Amino acid sequence: MFTGIIEELGTIKSINKGNETIVLTISAEKVLQDVNLGDSIAVNGVCLTVTSYNSSQFTVDVMPETFRTSTLKLLNNRDPVNLERAMAAGGRFGGHFVSGHVDGTGQITEKRPEKNAIYYTISLPDHLMRYFMLKGSVCVDGTSLTVFDVTKNTITVSLIPHTADHTILGKKTTGDLVNIECDMLAKYVSRMLSPEKEKTKQKSKLSLDFLQEHGF
């Protein structure tokens, strides 16, 4: 489990691509301070397992499903990547619940600076749009962001200067692809209210009226 608060920018040192698989070696500092074999580190929002490491770098495997559904296959040597260690019990929780299992990719269709903010409009696949609402949360390349606008097939998010300077998002531009993980709560609620659930004819107290009544 992660929070969507990026700890540092790593750098791709080597890429070994196979048939829909990748072995990545990434240079880093902070995330290596207490690392152990088998630990989880989110790389651009994708939860990956540390298979080897030393004082300056670590190695992870990218499996076929992750290869197909994420932007990791587009990485090149020396590319910067967002890094976050799995959250520790008792630690601060500054973003939102992030699993590190991306739901797909989105494409930036507009980048608009406004005063001290940068607004990004991101086009998404139709099947993901059900999980977004105004002021909801989304994880973009591992970064927890707030949704400021929703249309039929796009969302708009905003970056503060710190986020732009300390994540890879600040350098993103129109046409770039980004990893998207929808809000976990939205996915669970959608599943519970889905037509498939209704077909079971199992009565449930969970409804849109119930959620609104209780502040959701």
- pLDDT, one tens digit per residue, over 71-92 is 999 999 999 999 999 987 666 6
Amino acid at site 95: G
pLDDT for 66 beyond 80:
yes
CB 20 within 8 A of CB 64: yes
Percentage of the chain surpassing pLDDT 70? 87
More confident residue, 138 or 193: 138
| 147-150 contact pairs (CB < 8 A, 24+) | 148/119, 149/121
List the domain boundaries for the chain. 8-85, 104-192
User: Confidence band (pLDDT; 50, 70, 90) for 193?
Assistant: confident
Q: Which two tokens stand for residue 162?
A: 């710190």
Predicted confidence at residue 211, as pLDDT, reads: 61
CA distance 122 to 157: 8
DSSP calls for the chain: -B-S---EEEEEEEEEE-SS-EEEEEE-SGGGTT--TT-EEEETTEEEEEEEE-SSEEEEEE-HHHHHHSSGGG--TT-EEEEEEPPPTT----S--B-S---EEEEEEEEEEETTEEEEEEE--GGGGGG--TT-EEEETTEEEEEEEE-SSEEEEEE-HHHHHHSGGGG--TT-EEEEEE-HHHHHHHHHTSHHHHHTT---S--HHHHHHTT-
**Taking the domain 104-192, which CATH number applies?**
2.40.30.20
What is the C-alpha to C-alpha distance for residues 136 and 78, in angstroms, rounded to an integer? 33
Contact in structure between 48 and 82 (CB atoms under 8 Å) = no
- Report pLDDT for 196: 60
pTM: 0.86
From the list 7, 182, 12, the residue with the least C-alpha distance to 106 is 182
Q: Are 58 and 42 in contact (CB under 8 A)?
A: no
Asked if pLDDT for residue 203 goes beyond 70, the answer is: no
Say what the pLDDT of residue 201 is: 45
Q: What pLDDT digit, counting tens, does each position of 33-59 carry?
A: 999 999 999 999 999 999 999 999 999
Model confidence at 198, pLDDT cuts 50, 70, 90, reads very low
Looking at the predicted structure, is the pLDDT value of residue 178 above 70?
yes
- Mean pLDDT for the chain overall: 91
**pLDDT at position 205:** 57
Write down the CATH number for the domain with range 8-85.
Answer: 2.40.30.20
pLDDT of res. 127: 94
DSSP letters, 116-152, are TEEEEEEE--GGGGGG--TT-EEEETTEEEEEEEE-S
